[in-house]
Structure 1
Amino acid sequence: MGICHGKPFEPPQNFSGDSIIPSENEHALSHHTGKTPRFPFYSPSPLFSAFKNSPANSSVNSTPLRFFKRPFPPPSPAKHLRALLARRHGSVKPNEATIPEGSEFDIGLDKNFGFSKNFASHYELGEEVGRGHFGYTCSAKGKKGSLKGQDVAVKVIPKSKMTTAIAIEDVRREVNILRALTGHRNLVHFYDAYEDEDNVYVVMELCKGGELLDRILSRGGKYSEQDAKAVMAQILSVVSYCHLQGVVHRDLKPENFLFSSKDERSPLKAIDFGLSDYVKPDERLNDIVGSAYYVAPEVLHRSYGTEADMWSIGVIAYIILSGSRPFWARTESGIFRAVLKIDPSFDEAPWTTLSSDAVDFVKRLLNKDYRKRLTAAQALSHPWLAGHHDVKIPLDLIIYKLVKVYIYSSSLRKAALRALAKTLTIPQLAYLKEQFTLLGPSKNGNISLQNFKMAVTKNSTDAMKDSRVLEFVSTVSSLQYRKLDFEEFCAAAISVHQLEGMESWEQHARRGYEFFEKDGNRPIMIEELASELGLSPSVPVHVVLQDWIRHSDGKLSFLGFVRLLHGLSARALQKA
């Protein structure tokens, strides 16, 4: 439901190589075909086909659809999408779902948003600059007030398209998110929202620099590594800001980032929050939305959070640095299977010529296990972006989740985590030091759990209230626990899963075990270990835990140490 800048694009004269643009056989539908789709979807930016052997005058194609339009037979993970969209738009026949144009489904729906009703007196609409299924975007000029004479973008959403309560709530949420988050340098500026009997009008900043996708193509299909850093830093900056407020974008792709102007150093702006939603750090979303090439594996599994945005950013980074896509197939179901089962290639040019930090950066974003993926704040702290002049590390909510788990952990697990924290590298400690500083330690270098709430409150917007992030933070700050110095904070805030996703994981684990052997390991009775892990008396502990303890001296084994780091639950232990 966001700005959709669809326009024809002329191919560069000497464009070659693996294109990031779909071929004409890829089943992408262009709004230039004149055909009315049987299934509702957004019309993305149509672009030329630049694959080898494709006709020069082939029909204009597009990057993948926001909503996936075809049913797939099992075992396709997308087989339920048609039914999902049918429910969303009130169709009683999932296989023939369409978005009603009239009012046959909106009887009794309240379409009064409470927005100002004098749009026409404030703005004069200009030409259309983009169109999606639920609305279109026009340029406009202010007629009076603070924006008099200024060019703006106006997204027009017809109320006739709002045929369900969910559709109405989507529009309301999009406006609320834009209103709450506006002000970030890399987020399109929201001015106001209006309505009349027929439409909702969302007035925003007009970005005249074009899409990031166009800029990539104008550079021959990819960016230099140095220029890519500037782009990724801006993307991560705005996404980390959204995630701190409890907002997940859910449709991050090059088409949804616009440049303010044609200037090469123009700031990049995130647009299109029509699919965005609120999510607490300890909650998961389950509805499938997004664009096929950028959708995260856990979205297809219907259980995801802000980590799904990080996957999409990983895809963008892969494209920007290599000029090709990490996952590709000629059908949406093929793309989904690739996303779920295939690892992207880093063995061919240009990856072999890029820095090891650049490769590691992308790999850690494209980890199929969302628990091992970098957060936006961590990505900004990655060595690849270290020293970039535009990088400012924000507060990271994953710290709150990890500290909460640490506090509830057994004393034995806390000792294991303290040993593991001693193995952290300087860049890893730099990220933790930044987070510790943002929490506002006292003069003696300690923080209390109240610091966690105060730090978040300083960054709070109305979006954070709607996402109930403050509610989650309050549960953390209300826990009874002693003050943490930086050393214990590192143990509490360390993510074992993320370390496990690194090539150096075994070195961390081995060295951590050495520290644990020296400072924390001692003879342990199996019954004591069972109690530490919260196993019930009914669990056959001798069978479950026998390989956790060395038979020679009764101390925790290396295997037991690693399992303890992960904080396995009693249920997981019984399955081990």
Structure 2
Amino acid sequence: MGSRTSRHQEEPPSPSPDLPTPTRPHPEPPAAAAPAPAPAPFGVTYLVVHRETGKQLACKAIATRKLVRQDDLDDVRREIQIMHHLTGHRNIVELKGAYEDRQSVNLVMELCEGGELFDRIIAKGHYSERAAAALCREIVSVVHACHSMGVMHRDLKPENFLLLNRRENSPLKATDFGLSVFFKPGEIFKDLVGSAYYVAPEVLRRQYGAEADIWSAGVILYILLSGVPPFWAENEDGIFEAILHGYIDFSSDPWPSISPGAKELIKKMLRADPKERFTAAEILNYPWMKEDGAPDKPLDLTVMNRMKQFRAMNKLKKVALKVIAESLSEDEIMGLKEMFKLIDTDNSGTITFEELKAGLPKLGNLGIKISESEVRQLMEAADVDGNGSIDYIEFITATMHMNRVEREEHLYKAFEYFDEDKSGYITVEELEQALKKYNMGDEKTIKEIIGEVDTDKDGRINYDEFVTMMKKDNSEAIQTRRRK
């Protein structure tokens, strides 16, 4: 899942005789939406070079000190087995090998350097229903391959698909199978996994099968055509309620100009009853999904703009919140620091979702009451890459954000971090320089953030505009745009 810059980032794995030589950290794809409520064991991905061939590959290193339970080991083994099982499909990243050394279990796979799904759409400029259908075909072909071979993915979302290279005809590659499982026809699963925007209603009811993947693919198609998710709210619980309610908006822009075939397909993929939902084979055979079946007329520019905003807005906010967290005094974070120590039972400097859950009674002793739903929200705020591990500063950032610790002096410190020349404004250049430190966003994305936050349209962000952005939820911004 996504990249994360932290003080406690894992060191590159020590190579075994068969393992390629690690070079520098290579980020995994970023989170536009909320991570898995029950994440897999975390891993950090590095760029590595094969000693003999010189070929660049990706290496996902999973720290062995985090594999403390039998379930953790089983999860890693299953991910490796599934990737081997699915090898050879054009749209599934190829696992080259799995190795273990003293520090980590290492999954070496082909390197996808073509960028994210949304990045390609935005870079191409011309974007139509036909282009969306082509992308959806590749995604659904992965689902079809998985289901045909007895695998349920369970975490389909745009950021889990990367482009193999930068060429125009580069294939999409499904890159993360950390939550995937083998299944038998008719088998029912009950564990709550997935990512908030994309999770199927039957998953929330803890009674689901492989049809849940079709729902997630339907949500992705809705986003590909409109730029926003079909089910949204101000927090995770609200998103879940919207999913269970099941209302899909086809009246707001750009839907009146979208072809009936596209809307009908989405309805068939997002049927509330899993048994009535289209299968992957039926989707691939649907007329709109055929090579020339969808209209090639460019979609409204608002679709691309929304997609840019949906992808970009959290990046500015995340950096600003991290700046605030790092500037808080010991007195201000003493309670949170004690929380972190209590939860981090193995004193590793990072905490997992399971450690958070296990730490709930301890939090009660501090007079702090947090529901399991809020724990998931905490993971969502901090662990945007879905690795299942939060370091100290990220924990402070997330708990601070969750509890709305947005005091004037903290916001001003964050504003000053971006406003390097102390002019009272954040310019395009200052924003670009700050975000690039965190490997976030290109020049286009940064200009889009300015355009979204800069309400007086003077080409820069003043303090009032910054505060408004910080106090407004990303989902609220989506809601406002959809009402237009």
Structure 1 residues without counterparts, runs of 5 or longer? 8-30, 37-42, 44-100, 102-116, 390-576
Letter matched to residue 330 of structure 1: E
Q: Is the 8 A contact 2:262 2:288 kept in 1?
A: yes
Offset, 1:122? 3.9
Letter matched to residue 143 of structure 1: R
Aligned counterpart, 2:74: 169
Q: Is the 8 A contact 1:130 1:138 kept in 2?
A: yes
Which whole-Å deviations, capped at 9, do the CAs of 1:213-254 have from their partners, x for residues lacking one?
33345467x941011111011111111011011100000000
- 1:203 counterpart SS class: strand
In 2, Cα distance between equivalents of 1:217 and 1:292: 24
- 1:384 counterpart SS class: helix
CA RMSD of aligned residues (A): 2.4
Residue of 192, 195, 203 corresponding to 1:291 = 195
Residue of 158, 182, 206 corresponding to 2:111 = 206
Aligned counterpart, 1:127: 24
Q: Is the 8 A contact 2:246 2:272 kept in 1?
A: no
Aligned counterpart, 2:49: 141
Letter matched to residue 322 of structure 1: S
In 2, Cα distance between equivalents of 1:6 and 1:199: 18
Matches within 5 A, 1:386-405: 386-387=290-291
Matched, 1:254 2:158: yes
Going from structure 1 to structure 2, the CA distance change for 1:348 and 1:118 (only over 3 Å counts) comes to closer
Offset, 1:342? 3.6
Q: Is the 8 A contact 1:216 1:320 kept in 2?
A: no
Going from structure 1 to structure 2, the CA distance change for 1:210 and 1:5 (only over 3 Å counts) comes to farther
Offset, 1:163? 1.7
Letter matched to residue 85 of structure 2: A
Aligned counterpart, 2:412: none
In 2, Cα distance between equivalents of 1:229 and 1:382: 11
Letter matched to residue 152 of structure 1: L
Offset, 1:282? 1.4
Going from structure 1 to structure 2, the CA distance change for 1:160 and 1:223 (only over 3 Å counts) comes to farther
Q: What is the TM-score of this pair, normalised by structure 2?
A: 0.55
Aligned counterpart, 1:243: 147
- 1:119 counterpart SS class: coil
Aligned counterpart, 2:101: 196
Aligned counterpart, 2:285: 381
Which whole-Å deviations, capped at 9, do the CAs of 1:155-194 have from their partners, x for residues lacking one?
0001101121111100000000001111000000111000
Offset, 1:200? 0.4
In 1, Cα distance between equivalents of 2:131 and 2:101: 44
Going from structure 1 to structure 2, the CA distance change for 1:332 and 1:258 (only over 3 Å counts) comes to same
Going from structure 1 to structure 2, the CA distance change for 1:387 and 1:137 (only over 3 Å counts) comes to closer
Matched, 1:368 2:276: no
Offset, 1:355? 1.2
Matches within 5 A, 1:36-51: none
Going from structure 1 to structure 2, the CA distance change for 1:138 and 1:341 (only over 3 Å counts) comes to same
Matched, 1:264 2:168: yes
- 2:99 counterpart SS class: strand
Q: Is the 8 A contact 2:164 2:173 kept in 1?
A: yes
Matches within 5 A, 1:254-333: 254-333=158-237
Which whole-Å deviations, capped at 9, do the CAs of 1:381-430 have from their partners, x for residues lacking one?
111113559xxxxxxxxxxxxxxxxxxxxxxxxxxxxxxxxxxxxxxxxx
Aligned-pair identity (%): 47
Residue of 83, 92, 103 corresponding to 1:178 = 83
In 2, Cα distance between equivalents of 1:193 and 1:344: 42
Which whole-Å deviations, capped at 9, do the CAs of 1:53-75 have from their partners, x for residues lacking one?
xxxxxxxxxxxxxxxxxxxxxxx
Letter matched to residue 3 of structure 2: G
Aligned counterpart, 1:400: none
Going from structure 1 to structure 2, the CA distance change for 1:163 and 1:122 (only over 3 Å counts) comes to closer
Aligned counterpart, 2:395: none
In 1, Cα distance between equivalents of 2:26 and 2:233: 30
By relative contact order (CA 8 Å, sep 6+), the higher-ranking structure is 2
Q: Is the 8 A contact 2:161 2:174 kept in 1?
A: yes
- 2:214 counterpart SS class: helix
Residue of 238, 247, 251 corresponding to 1:343 = 247
In 1, Cα distance between equivalents of 2:95 and 2:202: 31
Matches within 5 A, 1:86-101: none
Q: What is the TM-score of this pair, normalised by structure 1?
A: 0.46
Which whole-Å deviations, capped at 9, do the CAs of 1:11-56 have from their partners, x for residues lacking one?
xxxxxxxxxxxxxxxxxxxx67x8x9xxxxxx9xxxxxxxxxxxxx
In 2, Cα distance between equivalents of 1:229 and 1:322: 13
Aligned counterpart, 1:354: 258
Offset, 1:285? 0.9
In 1, Cα distance between equivalents of 2:61 and 2:23: 12
Which whole-Å deviations, capped at 9, do the CAs of 1:319-372 have from their partners, x for residues lacking one?
001111101111110110011014110112211111111111111111111111
In 1, Cα distance between equivalents of 2:68 and 2:116: 31
In 1, Cα distance between equivalents of 2:237 and 2:280: 29
In 2, Cα distance between equivalents of 1:128 and 1:376: 36
Offset, 1:313? 0.3
In 2, Cα distance between equivalents of 1:127 and 1:374: 43
In 1, Cα distance between equivalents of 2:249 and 2:178: 32
Q: Is the 8 A contact 1:211 1:258 kept in 2?
A: yes
Going from structure 1 to structure 2, the CA distance change for 1:218 and 1:188 (only over 3 Å counts) comes to same
Q: Is the 8 A contact 2:19 2:99 kept in 1?
A: no
Q: Is the 8 A contact 2:41 2:75 kept in 1?
A: no
In 2, Cα distance between equivalents of 1:251 and 1:120: 34
In 2, Cα distance between equivalents of 1:270 and 1:283: 24
In 1, Cα distance between equivalents of 2:205 and 2:122: 33
Q: Who wins on radius of gyration, i.e. which is larger?
A: 1
Residue of 208, 228, 238 corresponding to 1:334 = 238
Matches within 5 A, 1:394-433: none
- 1:182 counterpart SS class: coil
Which whole-Å deviations, capped at 9, do the CAs of 1:72-131 have from their partners, x for residues lacking one?
xxxxxxxxxxxxxxxxxxxxxxxxxxxxx9xxxxxxxxxxxxxxx963554111221236
Letter matched to residue 300 of structure 1: L
In 2, Cα distance between equivalents of 1:158 and 1:333: 32
Aligned counterpart, 1:485: none
Matched, 1:234 2:142: no
In 2, Cα distance between equivalents of 1:215 and 1:316: 15
Going from structure 1 to structure 2, the CA distance change for 1:338 and 1:153 (only over 3 Å counts) comes to same
- 1:214 counterpart SS class: helix
